[in-house]
Each structure stands twice: as structure tokens, then as C-alpha cells.
Structure 1
Amino acid sequence: MTQEQRSIKDYLVIFLKGMCMGAADVVPGVSGGTIAFITGVYDEWLNSLKRCTPAVLLMLKKDGLANTWRYINGNFLVALFGGILVSLKTFAAIVLIAMETYPILVWAFFSGLVLASIYLLGKSQTSWRLSHWIALLLGAAFIYAISNLAPAQLPGYAWILFLGGFVAICAMILPGISGSFILLLVGLYPVFLNAIHNLEIGKLLAFGLGCICGLIIFSRFLSWLLASYHSATLATLIGFLVGSLYVTWPWKQVLTTTVDSDGNTVVLQQANLSPFEYLSVTGVEPMLVAACLSALAGILLVVVTEYVAHRLKR
């Protein structure tokens, strides 16, 4: 759908999808790329990002603002990233409060979203060869390995924040890999949250510049993979989603924590537990029935959204 064919209502929907992506990226373990996959904006997002290169500046001088804006799908990018930025500052706080108050239900909901997405993406794969199954298993194993790395601690220098933004945004583009989780692994997650909360412009500019460079470079590489090796790349991305189920498992035992500069406790490492041993280990009710209902709500949300989108296309 072109910019001219979209209405204000269409862009409002894109804005809301961006808010969901931003809220997901704040939670370590949940990827904005996963939400982009679920909500159906992933391909357009990648194709729009890969056009944002320095060559656009030459096009701007030669063809004018209107043609250049249309070429990069500017309205779509502004609506999507507007939603992401608004969510980072506002709605993300609600998600974090929900994570603190009802973590089992929130993780179960995310698991339901991912499960339904795996099913729908698996259906979209026209044929499954042995190489595709191997790619899926490698993708799942990669996410599992990443999620079990021990966190480090890096200082919040500008150049380190630039590199952190570069790597984190690449993780954000990939479904199943959380940019926040990558920041947590290298010890920059509290620094990033405090920079947003306190509006530390210098740190945010360094991080944002890294994100822009990462978006421009990595989005083109991933688009090339999807164009050249679509089935194998899609199978790997599905593997990332399968691996992320380990991260979104609702019943967790906190192993190590740290305290940020505001006195808030930040979880560094967790271990998954069976819901049947959760009570004896943590002393907290596993809320098994409520968790299953929450996961079902996530599944239904994806299935209903897919059904409505299919009906609208017809």
C-alpha cells in the first residue's frame, strides 16, 4: 500500500504498532522485531529502512523533498518510530509496572504471542527441507546461548553507548533477540533507562547515533538475506522465535540482581522453573490457570489480528 492510498486511520494503526514495539523493547527478553513480525509490518519496515542511506541526500537535491520522502516511505517510518519513541517514554512504564506486579501473566501473554507467530510463520513457509530445519535449530540454539550468557558491566562513555546502540538496534530488528537484553548483558541497560528518565541529551545522542548507523547497515544486510535466501532466512527467524520461548517462559527464579543509580533493583540473571516447583522454590503461587488464560489471550490476539487482516485484503 502506497503513502497516497493510506488514510489517517491507517497511520494511527501503524503508530499503535510502533508503541507495541517500543514497549516490548524496554523489557529484557522481548524483541521489538518479534512484535513487528506479529503485527505484519516487518517487511515494509526493513524495505523502508534500507533506503535510508547517504545517497538519499543526493536524491533530495536532485529530485526534491516530495519524491525523496515518498521513496523512503517517510510517512510510514515517522508513524512507526513516533509510536516507538512515545512508548519508550510513556507506555513502557506501564509494561514495567505490570512486569513487577504480575510477571507470570505478562510473560505468559508474551509466550502466547510468540507461539501463535511461530505457527503462522511456519504456515507461510511453502516447503520445509532438511536445510531449513537445520537453520531453525541453529536459530533457536543461538537465542538459547545468548539468553544464558553472564552479564558484564561497561562504563557509560559516549563511544561505548554508540556501540551499544549499534548492537542493540541490530538485535531489535531480529525477531527473538531483545535489544534491551543485549544492553543488560553488557551492563548498559540501567545507564540507558536512566538517560531516558533524566533526559541526558549527550548519552541519548550517542546511543541514538549508534542506532541510526545500525539501522542503515544491518537492515540492508537482512533485506539482502531475505531477498536472496528467503526460505532459509525465514526458517532461521522462526528458530529465533522458538528460542525466545525459553526467554519468555513465565516461571523464573532470580539468580543475580544489581541496583541502579535510582535505587531500583535490576535483574541480571534468571533460571526457568517448572510451574509445579515454582511455589516451593520462590514461595509465590504459580497462577497456572491464570497464566494459561493469559497465554491463550496472546494466541487469540495474533490469530484474530491475522484473520481480520486477511479479510481486509480480500
Structure 2
Amino acid sequence: MGKSKSKVTLFLKGCAMGAADVVPGVSGGTIAFITGIYEELLESISNLNLSLFKTIKKNGIKAAWQQINGNFLLVLLLGIGTSLLTLAKVVSYLLEHHEIPLWSFFFGLVLGSVWLVGKQVERWDIKTIAALIIGTAVAYYITILPPFTESHNLWYIFICGCIAICAMILPGVSGSFILVLLGAYATILESLSNLLSGLKAMSTEIIMANGSVIMVFALGCIVGLISFSRFLNYLFKRSKNVVIAVLTGFLIGSLNKIWPWKETITTFTKHAGEPNEKIIPLLQKNISPQQFEINHATSPELMLVITMFLVGILILIVLDRFAPKED
């Protein structure tokens, strides 16, 4: 019963990570960190290396599975995959129709994460403070970079997967936002949504067209994940305090991206001239709720924003209270 409950809990943590990774500005790595599975995740992924072949040859597949903590990774990936497939449409809808409340919820979630991650620094000194400042500056700079235009080339999708997955496992650096910067976010999200529709309709054409994009992206993610996680795991073992300080800075800097009220400066027209033409914001700047009301002649939804912000904070308090902590 205990093991079953543990697997269900781990699956739900994977679902939460997947949900976070769908949204540009929020990192699945943040969820992994605050739910107490981050270091185990890094360690498990780091064990995916060439030594596995030696283990299989010498001790068999079961020993290799234990070496990579296979049960842990499998359950977590099932949760992430389930969340990505089922929430792609939901998040797309919320971003289009309820953007301000959604951003305010994640603003509260990430702001609360700053405290949760930062308090794990055992001692603040010159090095950790400098690391915090550098992490904040780097993440902030990433949020103000102008995005590239979209590309559907499979080789480019592969590269995007390699880069985005590195961000997805870093608390505070959103893999989805990196995809936005690289011009691949809409392509991946649309392919996920279409793939789910194709599976429901049992349409081979839709499944093949969108499945190839997702498979190439997933392959890029695997390559990037195995490479980067080993490096990050090495840094954790060498200078854990400094790494956590940098990650805390990443969270602070990322808040610029998820401020609820924005003004669009430049846009990109997707499927121009077609029935499904869609205008996508490329470059935005943060504004006050008062300025938003003036510019758009509509309510800034201040009370709803405050409510969703507090819900995000409350979720973090609950996670901190009940989530098991790593040693």
C-alpha cells in the first residue's frame, strides 16, 4: 500500500511538472525542487550513460534498471507525459481567454518558490550573494530577448528540444519560454493538441504529421537532458549552496516574464491569409494595472488577480508543509 501510494504521489508530481512546463514562464524544475525530488531526478538521469551497457552485459537488464532508478523515472515521465497531452488544449485556452488570472496564479507560485528554494541555502556569504545576483540578471535578460520567428524544420525542432529541456530542469528558467524565444512554442503546443485530436479521431494522417514533430522534439529533449543533467549533478555535488543561490536568482529574474499586465509591442501573424490566421505576441512590456485599464478600456481584474496570486502562494505553503524533503 505504501509503495502504491508513493507511486501515485510521484505520478502527481510528474503531472504538476508537465503542467508547469506547458506555460511559458514557469519551470517544471521548480516543481521538482519544491516537491523534494529534484536531486534524485538529476542523479537518476545522470546514470543514463554508456556504463549501462556494461551493467546489462555483466548483471542483466534488471540491474541496469535499478542503476538508473527506472521505476522512479518511468512513473515521473508518465505523469509529465499525461499532463502535457491533456493540458495542452486547456492551457492554450486559458492563455487566450483568461491570460491575466493565469499569469497572476503563476506569479504567486514562482514568487513563493523564491522563498522555498532560497531557504535551502545553508549559508549566505559573498559567493552565494554574487551567485544570486548573477542568476537574477541572466534570467531577467532572457525574459527581454526578442523571440525568433517560427520554424517547422525538423532539424531545428531537434535543436530546440535539446536547449529547452535544459531550461525545463532548471528552477526559474522556463523551457516553454525558451521555446517561445526560439520560435518553436506554438509549433510544439499545436502539434501536441493536434496529436491528441488525431488519436481520438483515429486519423493516421494527423497522427503521422504531428507525431513526427513530437518524436523529433522528444529525441532532442533526451539528448539534451542526459548531457546537461550530468553537468548539473556534478555542480550540485561540488558547490550545492552556490548552485541553489543561482537557481533562486533564476526564479527572481523570471518574475519579469510572468507579470500579469502586459502591453504588446510587436506581433507575428501565424497562418497569414488562411482561415485559421492567428496573431501571436512576440515582444511585450510590463505595465501597471491602471495603465492596462487605460490602454485596453477594460478591467484589469484586480480582485481576481489578487485571489489567484494568493492561491499560488497557498499551494506553495501546502507543498512545503507536506512534501517530503531530500536529505
- Same-fold call, TM > 0.5? yes
Residues 97 and 114 of structure 1: CA distance in aligned 2, closer, same or farther (over 3 Å)? same
For the Cα contact (< 8 Å) 1:19–1:91, is it kept in 2?
A: no
Tell me, yes or no, if structure 1 residue 303 matches structure 2 residue 317: yes
Which of 17, 23, 27 is the matching residue for 1:21?
17
Could you tell me which residue of structure 2 aligns to residue 164 of structure 1?
A: 160
Which of 174, 180, 192 is the matching residue for 1:184?
180
1:7 aligned counterpart, secondary structure? helix
**Inter-partner Cα distance in structure 2 for 1:28 and 1:76:** 26
1:247 aligned counterpart, secondary structure? coil
Is there any run of 5+ residues in structure 1 with no aligned partner, and where?
Answer: none
Instruction: State the Cα deviation string for residues 251-290 of structure 1 (Å, max 9, x = none).
Output: 1122223243453443322211112222012223112222
- CA-based RMSD: 2.0
1:250 aligned counterpart, secondary structure? coil
**Inter-partner Cα distance in structure 2 for 1:36 and 1:127:** 22
For the Cα contact (< 8 Å) 2:101–2:308, is it kept in 1?
A: yes
Could you tell me which residue of structure 2 aligns to residue 246 of structure 1?
A: 256
2:323 aligned counterpart, secondary structure? helix
**Inter-partner Cα distance in structure 1 for 2:50 and 2:150:** 31
1:94 aligned counterpart, secondary structure? helix
Tell me, yes or no, if structure 1 residue 272 matches structure 2 residue 268: no
Instruction: State the Cα deviation string for residues 191-228 of structure 1 (Å, max 9, x = none).
Output: 22233224423322221111111111000000111110
Task: Name the amino acid aligned to 2:128.
Answer: H
Task: Name the amino acid aligned to 2:120.
Answer: S
1:246 aligned counterpart, secondary structure? coil
**Inter-partner Cα distance in structure 2 for 1:252 and 1:223:** 36
Tell me, yes or no, if structure 1 residue 212 matches structure 2 residue 222: yes
**Inter-partner Cα distance in structure 2 for 1:214 and 1:95:** 25
Q: Larger deviation: 283-292 or 125-134?
A: 283-292
Q: What TM-score comes out, normalization by structure 1 length?
A: 0.91
2:24 aligned counterpart, secondary structure? coil
Tell me, yes or no, if structure 1 residue 293 matches structure 2 residue 307: yes
For the Cα contact (< 8 Å) 1:252–1:272, is it kept in 2?
A: yes
Q: Larger deviation: 90-99 or 109-118?
A: 90-99
For the Cα contact (< 8 Å) 2:36–2:323, is it kept in 1?
A: no
**Inter-partner Cα distance in structure 1 for 2:184 and 2:116:** 34
Residues 16 and 266 of structure 1: CA distance in aligned 2, closer, same or farther (over 3 Å)? farther
Is there any run of 5+ residues in structure 2 with no aligned partner, and where?
Answer: 196-206
The list of structure 1 runs, each at least 4 consecutive aligned residues, that deviate by more than 4 angstroms after superposition, is none
Q: Larger deviation: 95-104 or 234-243?
A: 95-104
Residues 100 and 233 of structure 1: CA distance in aligned 2, closer, same or farther (over 3 Å)? same
Tell me, yes or no, if structure 1 residue 47 matches structure 2 residue 43: yes
